[in-house]
Structure 1
């Protein structure tokens, strides 16, 4: 329910946080059937919000495992269709949990669902592609080995900034990576090497696309909101900077505050105008 609510309202509410957002290649994501979205990862949870909130099908996301350690956080993230993926830096004792996450992904593919994985394996504010980890290739290989027809679709999300309002966002969705492009009957090492080489080339080309130019008529809500929503914008900026302290979570926190506080703020404004008039 929480996921569906956010997916319905976030595209509109984010218009007051994002100056302009542009999607290209949406037709490359199949309307049905199993899909593995392989994306770059430069802006923490906000990357998933941008993708999941602007696509009609439900998307399951793999997220950094350490944020699932607290029971309340795990419950909330799970309700948003997020699954944990642990790294060695988060504790060797948690790595075994990744097997359960992979089993869940394979089951989701059998059900014809979409899974989003961030192929770089970590989040850093950057505009260039980082070396890819092996998780995306392993997940695709496992699905194909089990005769699951999963479509691997490369996705890039590019931002003009990571720490303030009025950002420009470009989402490029490329043509699928085909199983036929990979060496047949190859060992795991060769398969993963070739998989990452092909995927890296596709993602790099997508990242090279220029950002769109903003204008009032492309998104008048943002420009009007600068005046009307000034208190909320100021609150979101100051709180996010204080909480995140220069980390990669500024947009995740600030954007979340905007999406949850703006409706309440508008209700208060409406009541104020009602009693004044």
Structure 2
């Protein structure tokens, strides 16, 4: 059984319970205060130089661009260094150092706001970017160190939700405070200064409560050259194809989101004919959508890292971004309207619904990817992998600004830019899923286990979260492997009867899943031996191997005798010094349902005779040591699990 952090059990009902636990809550509120402060500072500064100060060398039209570029620049320059520091030192101590830095920066920024010194505030913008660059790798590398696999999706969802709520609150607070008149006792600039310092102090205070999180690579020698280390980080991330392509997928999400966030002001004014309040409403709707989607990941994934949600998220992003184009393109010309007038017109509700849903699906898309990266990255290199992600995110966001600007400069309207982004999202997502078919396979398994059957799993904590293991299950239908995929938090390699690969669609699916076809030794001795060699390689790689020891789908619904292939697999692993636990499983109530044989022995003659949404269960038993496994003993274990009622 894979190791999980202390306290990371299954007693907690949902992700909100983490807010009552010291291993998560102080960290959550630390990152929340930091994100809020970043955006309070940046938005107040942007409003100040846009509307309140006259700075000849910084025109209002360029203020937002310059501030945004200065904030992003440190992510490109120093992310690689930050990743090394997060791997080398205790993460709790690193967070406290970063929060000390934030307090110092905000004290300087406070003086800049009070004196109206734009150069000082530009310097502080760059330094706050450095602060966020140092915090990023620590933030995402800390979560898998303190949370178990069943909590990782929920923890990431909480962080993602908290970040967008903090962004929203920071922007609102910054806009309200900086707009206060200067002729009162404490003017708007002074109020912003006080708020920034207080937010930094609050973050530092709560950071003191973060428990120790030991270094994962304390012997690491830090390379202080940001350019060579950046290249090395990207090469390191490329060493794990699934992780690297997931990094590209997350960076694409930031590209997608940046297009919408950057265009809200002009979209509100030029297309929706709304004022600043309408632009703020769009930000609120987008933030609520992202937060909702992030929190839904734990529910839809049944507390596992369910990357099957990623294709669902990508589909929703493209569908509702496309509909946003159609909803917005036909709006009649009108005078600039306020929030009440805008909301009172039903024609605008579709626009807000599209925006809420595309951002909700963006949350479903991003959270499982973050969790997958944390789960699959080597612990000693996890922070540097996250640093590589931050570098790619920054590059994609810069590319987003350049491409959107080029399209607008070429005469595209804002809705047309949204449509272009929706189409590009479909193309990019399709390419990622073609490169990493695991996403598509998990999506199919996730959909089948929820929309074809009412699938319940009991004992899934017995499925190892790390290390090699053999999963053994009864064979009832043509989709047994699909259901096991849905139950496991990790990819499974299946050893399957070669005849099942002839089934239309399913055969192609199993080939995509790199299932291993096995033929009887009498029929094809070479293929038989090749199958066992491939199975041995799966275990050498530390992965999960699943077999159906009955040798084929049952013809009458009863459990058939187990063949001796399992003994051969375990003997080979033992000879190579590989410890391989065996996990017995039993699919229940599946006989006679969709995709199973009927009593005459035919395959799917009447596949929907029991209708859809049949209750189907998977009972998982505790792992057995390889030394205790015989075909007869294993069959008894599976029979006992099969006799249990369907998991509730």
Query: Which TM-score applies when normalising by structure 1?
Result: 0.63
Equivalent in the alignment of 2:617: 170
Structure 1 moving runs of 4+ over 3 Å: 66-70, 72-77
CA positional deviation for 1:95: 2.9
Structure of greater relative contact order (alpha carbons < 8 Å, 6+ residues apart): 1
Gap change, CA 1:124 and 1:142, over 3 Å in 2 = same
Q: Any idea what SS the aligned residue of 2:617 has?
A: strand
Of 569, 589, 596, which residue of structure 2 is paired with 1:159? 589
Separation in 2 of the partners of 1:93 and 1:180?
A: 30
Q: Kindly tell me the number of residue pairs found equivalent between the two proteins.
A: 195
Task: Give the gaps of 5 or more residues in structure 2.
Answer: 1-435, 594-606
- Which runs of structure 2 are paired with 1:53-92 in the superposition (5 Å)? 53-68=486-501, 77-87=510-520, 92=522
**Alignment-derived partner of residue 451 in structure 2:** 16
Structure 2 residue aligned with 1:192: none
**Counterparts in 2 of 1:202 and 1:43: CA distance versus 1, 3 Å:** same
Aligned positions of 1:243-254 closer than 5 A: none
8 Å contact from structure 2 (residues 582, 624) kept in 1: yes
Structure 1 residue 129 displacement after superposition? 1.5
Question: How far apart, CA to CA, are the structure 2 residues paired with 1:10 and 1:76?
Answer: 10
Deviation at 1:170, TM superposition (A): 0.8
Where 1:156 maps in the other structure, the secondary structure is strand
Q: Does 1:147 align with 2:568?
A: no
Q: CA deviation at 1:99?
A: 0.8
The one of 543, 547, 557 aligned to 1:113: 543
How far off is 1:159 after superposition? 2.1
Aligned to 1:101: 531
Larger Rg: 2
Distance 1:118 1:60 in 2: 12
What corresponds to 2:552 in structure 1? 122
Alignment check: 8 A CA contact 2:458 2:647 kept: no
CA distance in 2, matches of 1:14, 1:180: 34
Native 8 Å contact 1:168 1:212 kept in 2: no
Report the CA distance shift for 1:14/1:170 in structure 2 as closer, same or farther (over 3 A).
closer
Superposed CA deviations along residues 128-166 of structure 1, whole A, max 9, x for unmatched, are 311111111211121112211111111111125323223
1:5 is matched with 440
Task: State the Cα distance separating 1:208 from its structure 2 match.
Answer: 0.4
- Cα deviation 1:223-267 (Å, max 9, x = unaligned): xxxxxxxxxxxxxxxxxxxxxxxxxxxxxxxxxxxxxxxxxxxxx
Distance 1:197 1:78 in 2: 30
Asked whether the equivalents of residues 3 and 81 of structure 1 are also in contact (C-alpha less than 8 Å), the reply is: no
Distance 1:138 1:93 in 2: 18
Shift, 1:39, TM fit: 0.8
Deviation track 1:23-54 (CA, whole Å, cap 9, x = no partner) reads 1111112110001001110112x000001123
- Secondary structure at 1:22 match in 2: strand
1:207 corresponds to 2:642: yes
Q: Distance in 2 between matches of 1:29 and 1:73?
A: 24
- Structure 1: tracts of 5 or more residues without a match: 183-194, 214-277
Give per-residue Cα distances to partners, 1:95-144, cap 9 Å, x unaligned.
32111111111111111000110011111254431111111121112111
- Output the CA distance in 2 between the equivalents of 1:107 and 1:28: 23
1:28 aligns to 2:462 (yes or no): yes
CA gap of 1:119–1:33, structure 2 versus 1, over 3 A, is same
* Distance in structure 2 (CA, Å) of the matches to 1:12 and 1:75: 17
Query: What is the SS of the residue equivalent to 1:96?
Result: helix
The 1-side partners of 2:514 and 2:639 are apart by: 28
* C-alpha displacement of 1:78: 2.7
TM-score, with normalisation over the residues of structure 2?
0.28
Cα distance, 1:66 vs structure 2: 3.3
CA displacement, residues 195-239 of structure 1 (integer Å, 9 cap, x when unaligned): 0121011111100011257xxxxxxxxxxxxxxxxxxxxxxxxxx
Q: Is the partner of 1:144 in helix, strand or coil?
A: helix
Question: Aligned partners of 1:68, 1:181: CA distance in 2, in Å?
Answer: 32
Sort the Cα spacing of 1:21 and 1:69 in 2 relative to 1 into closer, same or farther, 3 A.
closer
Greater share of residues in helix: 2
Do the aligned partners of 2:468 and 2:544 also contact (CA within 8 Å) in 1?
Answer: yes
Equivalent in the alignment of 1:42: 476
2:467 and 2:581 mapped to 1: Cα distance?
8
